[in-house]
């Protein structure tokens, strides 16, 4: 769906009248506050899993190289 210039103007005006930024209160419950407190959290298990996957791929590549060298010698 593409908006015409007129439709964009109407939407812009509606948003200016509505002013959703004036109504935003953020989380209200302790559970909600705890959840949004983790929004910027980077790391944890995903980072460790990526590092492990990279290490395993490197090990696999090294093993393949050594295996090829060994087979070419014997």
- Give the tens place of pLDDT for each residue, 12-31: 999 999 999 898 889 999 99
User: What integer pLDDT is reported at residue 41 of this predicted model?
Assistant: 73
| pLDDT over 80 (residue 73) | no
Query: How many other CB atoms are there within 10 angstroms of residue 1's CB atom?
Result: 3
For tokens 């590549």, name the residue.
61
The helix (run of H) or strand (run of E) holding residue 18 is helix 5-18
**Token pair of 31 as six digits:** 């559970």
The span from the CA of 63 to the CA of 59, in Å, is: 6
User: What integer pLDDT is reported at residue 30 of this predicted model?
Assistant: 96
- Give the tens place of pLDDT for each residue, 39-66: 887 767 888 889 999 999 999 999 998 8
User: What integer pLDDT is reported at residue 70 of this predicted model?
Assistant: 83
User: What integer pLDDT is reported at residue 48 of this predicted model?
Assistant: 87
Q: Both ends of the chain: CA-CA distance in Å? A: 66
């Amino acid at each position: 769906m593409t908006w015409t210039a007129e439709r964009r103007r109407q939407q812009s005006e509606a948003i200016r009248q509505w002013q959703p930024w004036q109504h935003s209160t953020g989380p209200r419950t302790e559970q909600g506050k705890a959840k949004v407190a983790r929004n910027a959290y980077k790391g944890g298990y995903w980072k460790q899993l990526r590092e492990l996957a990279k290490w395993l791929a490197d090990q696999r590549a090294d093993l393949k190289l050594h295996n090829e060298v060994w087979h070419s010698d014997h």
